[in-house]
Structure 1
Amino acid sequence: MHTIGLKKQCKAKHFLPDQKGKENDIHSHKYTIEVIFSGEKINKKGYLLDINELNKILEKIFEKFENNILNELPEFRNINPTLENFSKILWRLIGKELETENISTLKVKIHESEDAYASYGGKLQD
């Protein structure tokens, strides 16, 4: 199985309404987001996925989150903006944008610090 990944950063704000203390206040994170793709086939050029195309997809998606309060975005309506939920939302959005039959699985891993991260991954629909 071939694997390719990209790591990007995105600044966003959020608050966790069910928490007590500082997490309940609006605060920002400089998220480091790793996106990892896997598949059995590579294309005629020898790529599983073109990194330049992937960069364009990620920039387009991350643009809607950059410097915004996650709680106020439609993607987080009725959802607590935890790392777990953010990684699943990004997984869905990135999966929808992919136009390649070579990718079978996608994993999104989000770090809010060097120590804390969450991820979501799985098979993409045929």
Structure 2
Amino acid sequence: MYEVTVDAGFSSGHYLRNYHGRCENPHGHNYKVRVTLIGKELDQTGLLLDFKQLKHVMRPVIDRIDHQMLNDLEPFTEINPSAENLARYFYDQTSDQLHEMTSGRVRVKDCTIWETDTTSATYYE
């Protein structure tokens, strides 16, 4: 199996509903997101997926939430914008695009979101 990984960053605000503590109040993070792809076959160039293409796949997802209050955006109007739910959001959004782009040859292995340098959450299936 082959893997490729791209890291990116964005800044957003959020608050956690049904939480008792400081995070129930609006606050922000400088997030880091890592998307790792996996696949058995390389393309004719010898790449699983060009890093530039993965960055292109991640860009609209980041642009939608960068410098936004996450609680105001779907699906976070219904679910808490926790690091765990953000990791799944990135997983789902990038998976849909990659499946179309590569006809299923490449899939998302996992997505990790860092809220701080020392705290992260990962989603995978």
- TM-score w.r.t. the length of structure 1 is 0.91
8 Å Cα contact 1:109-1:118 kept in structure 2: yes
Match of 2:113?
110
For structure 1, list consecutive stretches of 5 or more residues without a partner in the other structure: none
Q: Secondary structure at the match of 2:116?
A: coil
What do the CA deviations read for 1:53-73 (whole angstroms, capped 9, x no partner)? Answer: 111111111100001011110
CA distance in 1, matches of 2:76, 2:70: 7
Question: How far is the alpha carbon of 1:103 from its aligned partner?
Answer: 1.1
Alignment match, 1:20: 20
Task: Note if contact 1:84-1:119 (Cα within 8 Å) is conserved in structure 2.
Answer: yes
Matched, 1:37 2:41: no
User: In the alignment, which residue of structure 2 is the partner of 1:55?
Assistant: 55
Conserved? CA contact 1:2–1:39, under 8 Å: yes
Kindly provide the CA deviation profile for residues 56-100 of structure 1, in whole angstroms up to 9, marking residues without a partner as x.
Answer: 111111100001011110121310111111111111011111111
| 3-state secondary structure, aligned to 2:87 | helix
**Mapped partners of 2:10, 2:108: distance in 1:** 23
Q: Is this contact kept in 1: 2:94–2:108, CA < 8 A? A: no
Q: Is contact 1:95–1:106 with CA below 8 Å preserved after alignment?
A: no
Confirm whether residue 121 of structure 1 aligns to residue 124 of structure 2. Answer: yes
Distance 1:105 1:52, change over 3 A: closer
Deviation at 1:105, TM superposition (A): 4.0
What does residue range 74-89 of structure 1 map to in structure 2 within 5 Å? 74-89=74-89
Q: Would the aligned equivalents of 1:39 and 1:48 in 2 still touch at CA under 8 Å?
A: yes
Percent same amino acid at aligned positions? 24
Within 1, Cα distance between the matches of 2:107 and 2:6? 16
TM-score, length basis structure 2: 0.92
SS in 2 for 1:45: coil
What are structure 2's unaligned runs of at least 5 residues? none
The residue type equivalent to 2:5 in the other structure is G
Secondary structure in 2 aligned to 1:67? Answer: coil
Between the two proteins, the alignment pairs up a number of residues equal to 122
Q: Return closer, same or farther for 1:66/1:104 CA change in 2, 3 Å cut-off.
A: closer
